[in-house]
């Protein structure tokens, strides 16, 4: 601590000037947030404290809520078509591209896994693009899994025409612990249906077979 950061020493018999200097010093130098302790009241809105889990919290409507910091987001996609070897069989989707990411990453040893550096509740939004190569009726399925366990629901879409493209919009909300991973899974009822990645044309950019955006909504 430098001399400029030391509190003013009491000088002379007059306490009031020293008290004023001390208050001024504390106002300038006390920048740390007080720690949140279980039982602290949130009756007054706008009280900011430091939670021991490592995040600032603010009181609002009778409860302390996390102030979301940096990290906890990413956009993940694949660039080439992805086929299923067999019908009615689950496959993990491999991701080959990540952009605008912070705290989320593709597992370097398994590119079907998206790793979460920090715990929290995350929102997932995105789409899958399928293409059909026959006129038979076919169904595509998508769902997510966390740490190898499927979520309790899936999304699906049915295709009826040859050379038909169809886009399946997906959304989920998941809660994970630090170090967890998520996988995107798909299946088709007929291998004439696949996740299609198309090359760019003279007038339009390339299309992706899958593109997911993941954002942390709360701790």
Q: Decide if domain 73-218 falls under CATH 2.60.120.40.
A: yes
CA distances in angstroms from 181 to 28, 83, 114, listed in the order given: 44, 23, 5
Cβ proximity of 210 and 216 under 8 Å: no
CA distances in angstroms from 184 to 7, 42, 54, 144, 193, listed in the order given: 57, 39, 30, 5, 17
Cβ proximity of 209 and 193 under 8 Å: no
Residue whose entry in the numeric block shows the structure tokens 């597992």: 107
In order, the DSSP letters of 31-98 are -SPPBP-TT----STT-EEE-TTS-EEEEETTEEEE---S--EEEEEE-S-B--SSTT--EEPPP-EE
Cβ proximity of 73 and 101 under 8 Å: yes
The 10s digit of each residue's pLDDT in 78-88 is 999 999 999 99
Measured CA to CA, the distance from residue 130 to residue 165 in angstroms comes to 6
Cβ proximity of 95 and 108 under 8 Å: no
Measured CA to CA, the distance from residue 78 to residue 75 in angstroms comes to 11
Across 51-65, 151-165, 184-198, least confident range:
51-65
The 10s digit of each residue's pLDDT in 20-73 is 887 787 776 665 667 777 777 778 887 887 776 667 788 888 887 777 666 789
Residue whose entry in the numeric block shows the structure tokens 């000088």: 11
Query: Does residue 127 have a pLDDT over 80?
Result: yes
Query: Does residue 126 have a pLDDT over 60?
Result: yes
Measured CA to CA, the distance from residue 35 to residue 25 in angstroms comes to 21
Domain boundaries defined on the chain: 3-66, 73-218
Measured CA to CA, the distance from residue 89 to residue 125 in angstroms comes to 24
Q: What's the pLDDT at 180? A: 97
All residues at 6 or more sequence positions from 16 whose CB lies less than 8 Å from its CB, including other chains: none
Token couple for 4: 């400029």
Query: Does residue 146 have a pLDDT over 50?
Result: yes
């Amino acid at each position: 601590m430098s001399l400029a950061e030391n509190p003013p020493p009491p000088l002379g018999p007059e306490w009031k000037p020293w008290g004023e200097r001390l208050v001024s010093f504390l106002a300038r130098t006390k920048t740390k947030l007080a720690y949140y302790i279980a039982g602290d009241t949130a009756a007054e809105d706008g009280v900011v404290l430091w939670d021991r889990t490592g995040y600032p919290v603010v009181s609002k409507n009778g409860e302390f809520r996390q102030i979301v910091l940096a990290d906890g987001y990413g956009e993940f996609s694949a660039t080439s078509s992805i086929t299923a070897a067999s019908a009615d069989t689950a496959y993990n989707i491999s991701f080959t591209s990540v952009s605008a990411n912070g705290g989320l990453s593709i597992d370097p040893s398994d590119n079907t896994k998206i790793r979460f550096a920090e715990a929290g509740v995350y929102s997932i939004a995105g789409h899958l693009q399928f293409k059909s190569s026959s006129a038979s009726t076919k169904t595509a399925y998508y769902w997510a899994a966390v740490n190898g366990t499927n979520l309790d629901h899936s999304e699906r879409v049915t295709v009826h025409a040859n050379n038909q493209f169809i886009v399946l919009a997906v959304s989920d909300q998941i809660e994970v612990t630090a170090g967890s991973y998520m996988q995107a899974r798909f299946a088709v009822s007929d291998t004439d249906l696949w996740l299609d990645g198309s090359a760019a044309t003279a007038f339009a950019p390339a299309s992706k077979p899958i593109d997911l955006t993941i954002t942390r909504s709360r701790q």
